[in-house]
Every structure is written in C-alpha cells, then in structure tokens.
Chains A and B, each alone.
Chain A
Amino acid sequence: MPVALETVGLEKRFGGLVATNDVSLKIEKGARHALIGPNGAGKTTLINLLTGVLRPTSGRILLESRDITTFKPHARVKLGIARTFQINQLFPDLTPLETIGLAVSERLGSGKDWWRIVGSRPQVTDEVVRILEDFRLADVMNERTAILPYGKQRLLEIAVAVASAPRVLLLDEPAAGVPEEERHVILDIVAALPQDVTVLLIEHDMDLVFQFARQISVLVNGAVFVEGTPEDIARDERVRQVYLGEGGHG
C-alpha cells in the first residue's frame, strides 16, 4: 500500500519538555490507524504538528511523499488533511448550514468570492445538504451552533472536517463527552467513512479503538513505544503495564 502520511524523526520541544520525541510513523493509504497512550503522552501535540498548528523543532512531515513540514494549516487542508478537535472548535454564532456551507465553499474554491451570495451555487447547496443529512444535522441546520445539544455539536465537529473532503482525517477523541446513548451515532459515522480516506484516530475508549483500528501505535512520553495490530497490542505485556493496566483491563 502507498503511504498517505509519514513523519520522519519528528520532534517538538517546549523549553526543556520534549512533547514529541523522534516520532517516525508511516500511515498507509486507507488505513484505520489508532494512536493511544496515557494522558500527557503527546497525542494531541502530534496532531497539532501534523495539521500545522504547531511547528516541529526538527523532523519532517510528508503527505503522499510531499514535504509539508513548513506548510500553513489552511494550505494543508487544501492538500487534503482535515481534523477534529478534542474540544469542539465551532462557530458559535453560525448555524450548521452556514458552517458546512463555509467549508464546502472553501473546498470548491469559491471561499474568496465577494460578488456571489453564499449558497448561490447549486453545487455547494447540494453538497451541504448531503453532509447535513449524513451527519443527522438536517433537523437543526438553522439553529445557532451555540445552542445545539452537545451530541449535535460533536457531530458538527466531525461533519465540518469531512466537508473539506479530506484524504487524511485526524480524529481527536471524537466520542469524548458524548452521552452513552448517542455514542453509536458517532461510531457508525466513523465506521461509514469512505474506505479510501485515511483515518488516524486518537482515543481513550479502548472498546472504540479495538473495534475501529487495524493498526495501533502506542505513544508514551512523546515517543512511539510499540506499534502493531490490535491483537499484537492486546497481547503486549509492556503495553499492559504502561497503559492498559491503568484502566484495569485484564
């Protein structure tokens, strides 16, 4: 399989703290790859490096063999990397319709058009409606995001990332904080993502990880500790000690 996203010796220091330590990952195209590790292992820092929110101290990031280490966040989105945030990052005063409309307009290249009324391209509207329906947001599409229930906000958080039509999607704890009875909606949506989209998932919920992932990397103290299939990871004694043991598994 071709490699979709690769890091080479990636390192990020905050003063004396090494948040990301010589991380070299290879994520294959179409992968369902999970990134796990105890709190403070540097998972979100790694996502921030991959999306350009943070600049690495050293090392390189390659998207489909292209070096994107110095690219700005919005430029990486244009190249096909989208993400969700651990804590919702939405537009409180916009509606889901406007939020998705914004992302789709941007993707279809009309984001800087100033002479056109928003949504006047049928292509944009059709795409927006499709995404709203896929994410079960059609019923609340005209509500302000700020007053939506948390579960709907979480769906919108994923929907707006998918609206950028990413080839690589980074999900930072997509189910975090979602009530038990609404979790399956998120899980179904994650499971239904197109097969050619490469997905990197950060998650604490081991059930979700083992249900979803075909490949797992365990991050400890900023470095890749172990990598392997879910079966390998579940069997690995060291992982049990540093990580799974904490949660009382086995």
Chain B
Amino acid sequence: MSSLPLQAEAGARFAARAAWHPLEVVFWAVALGSIYLLPGRHLILTEIAILGLFALSLDLILGYAGIVSLGHAAFFGFGAYTAGLLAKHEIITEPLLALLVSGAATALLGFVTSFLVLRGSDLTRIMVTLGVALVLREIANRYAGLTGGADGLQGVEIKPLFGLFRFDMFGHTAYCYSLGVLIVLFLLARRIVHSPFGLSLQSIKGNVLRASAVGIPVNSRLVTIYTIAAAYAGIAGALLTQTTAFASLSVFDFDRSADLLLVLIIGGTGYLYGGLIGAIIFKLMQDYLAALTPQYWPFWIGLLLVVIVLVGRERISSWTHPLRTLASRLDWRSHRTQSSVLATGGP
C-alpha cells in the first residue's frame, strides 16, 4: 500500500515546481518600482519591456518546446503592422482592444505557419522560419499602398488608452501600459509552463519518441505553443507601434530575429526570466555603448557573444547566481546548472 508521507512529499514536490521564489517577487517589485523611481528613463524601459515580451515569446517555443526560430520577427512585424493599420484607418481606436486583436491576428498567422515547423531538424526549422519572415517583409514592401513600403506606415495616431491616458512624449503612459501587458502575459506564460501542458512540451523537447509513446499528441502540442508564442510576439510588435506611433519594414528585419536569439543566449532559456534579463542587459549595453561609440557598438555586442559562447553561459551566470536560482530552488534545474558547471570545469 502506498505510504501517505510519500504522497505528501510528491504533492509538495509538484507544488514546489510552480512556487514563487522570493527573488521573483523582488524582480517584479523592482520593475513596478521603476515606474516611480526612474521617471526619466521610461522610454528605454518601454523598449526593454517590449523586447522582454518578444524574448519571452521565443523562450516559450525554444526554451520549452525546443523549436529553433531565426524568423520570429515575422510575428513581431505582423503584429506591428496590424496595430498600425487598425489605428491609422481608425478601425479599432482603443489601444488595448487593438492590441488584443493584433495578437489574435498574429496567432492565426502562427497557427497557419506552425505546420511548416513541425517536420524536420533544427536546420530545417531555422531556414523555414527565416523564409517566412523574409516573405512577409517583401509582401509589406510590395504593397506600399497599404503599408507605406520602405517609407514605413505614416500617419498612425494612437488614441488615449481606455480613452483616458494619452501617450505622452516621455513614455510614462507607454511604460505603464507595456509593463502591465508584460506582467499579465508573463503570469499567463508562467501558468502555462508549470501545467501538464507545459510539462508535455518539455518532454517533447527531451525525447519526441518517448513523448509520443506515452500518448502525447506531439504535433498538436507544438502547433498550440507555436500559436501562443506567435500571439505573444504579435502583441510585442503591436506595443512597439502603439508606443512609437510608427511601423516600418525594420520590424521584419533579420537583425531583429537574430538579436532576439542573442537576448535569450545572454539571459538563458527555459526559466522564463532569461528573455527579460537578457533584454535588460542587451538594451542597456546597446544604449550605453551607442552613446560611447555610436558607430561601432555592435562590435561590443559581438565580442560579448563570443565571450559568452567560449566561457560558457553557465559560468557567466554563476556570477549572477542569485538570479539564476530564481527557478532552480529545489527542483531539477539546480542539478542541471551544477552538473553543467562541473562539465565545463567549474568556476
């Protein structure tokens, strides 16, 4: 007969996977605090929140389901133009509603294109996702009558949020709005990854053959998370349009997809905070270095990338260990971090 203490322990272990760590609370308290404490930095903080949300989207498919994408800007761009067109033609003027509609439209695009990434190896997926982004960019370029082509989408006017809060030039409304959206979507993502559905994604990433042998419909799970991630990216893109009142072809750029991978490499995948931390580091570096050496800042980003790969991310993250332990607490991730550090020779 089963022992009751063991059941209690198993239940506690399952619950511990999803428990809030104090550092997570600190992270979000600091994020909310920045509204009051850094009023002069709201413009860049808005950019960070948007990039963080975009990276969160990629983490959902890369960090949890193991789908590599080098064309995630396809969804970002689609969301950006959808929001721009909704506002420009005054189809939906309330920003939050327009944001949700942009997300839903991008989800549809994600659903349709998800069938392209189901098959094949990582290389195939990289090429297919890259291809989709290129195709969308050229469609936007070609139909200049609708999108403004290379000049970008001009004349976008964003109405006040809820009809009350105007988007000011200091980015106060923009930041509160973006951070609010990020928090809500983060909480949703956190719920998803700790659910049986989220666990099944991790199992697919770990071993597709076994995943299907325990009865997991692998393809439908991948389609679902790819669609969700597309919606997230589309919402991030829509936020960019709404907070800058402009959309240009650069939203589809290859650079944007590649930078996004860089953000996740900096922050780490598979614990949700990687994209957010990576976005903070990436944007602050970009901001600082661009001020220092306006033309050559990508040099430093490139150097950082090389250092990260050579030294090993685990070892770098051991400098910021408190942040890494956000998700590790008691569970398997702590074992993984430790064993990886050991594998690379230890700090």
Contacts and interface: CB of A to CB of B under 8 A. Distances in A.
Interface of A: 51, 53, 72-75, 77-78, 82-83, 85, 89-95, 97-99, 101-103, 105-107, 110-120, 122, 125-126, 128-130, 132-133, 138, 141-144, 147, 160-161, 163-164
Contact of A113 (B197, B202, B209): B197
A102 B213 contact: no
Contacts of A106: 196, 200, 214-216
B306 interface: no
Contacts of B7: 125-126, 129
Given A117-B194, A118-B196, A133-B3, A82 B213 contact: yes
A189 to B, nearest CB: 17
B195 A113 contact: yes
A119 B335 CA distance: 21
Interface of B: 2-3, 6-7, 10-11, 13-15, 17-18, 191-192, 194-200, 202-203, 206-207, 209-218, 221, 224, 330-332, 335-336, 339
A133 B213 CA distance: 22
Residue among B200, B209, B336 with max Cβ neighbours from chain A (10 Å): B200
Contacts of B13: 97, 119, 141-142
Contact of B213 (A89, A112, A143, A144): A89
B2 A94 contact: no
23 contacts: A53-B209, A72-B212, A74-B217, A77-B214, A83-B213, A85-B209, A89-B209, A91-B210, A93-B332, A97-B13, A98-B332, A99-B203, A107-B215, A111-B200, A114-B196, A114-B198, A118-B18, A118-B196, A119-B15, A132-B6, A141-B13, A142-B331, A163-B214
A65 B96 CA distance: 55
A113 B200 CA distance: 10
B236 to A, nearest CB: 20
A90 B210 contact: yes
Contacts of A53: 209
B12 to A, nearest CB: 9
Contacts of B195: 113-118
Nearest to A73: B212
Nearest to A117: B18
A119 B8 CA distance: 11
A105 B330 CA distance: 22
Residue among A78, A91, A116 with max Cβ neighbours from chain B (10 Å): A91
Given A126-B2, A138-B6, A144-B332, A97 B196 contact: no
A93 B210 contact: no
Contacts of A78: 215
A132 B210 CA distance: 18
Contact of A141 (B10, B202, B224): B10
Contacts of A119: 10-11, 13-15, 17
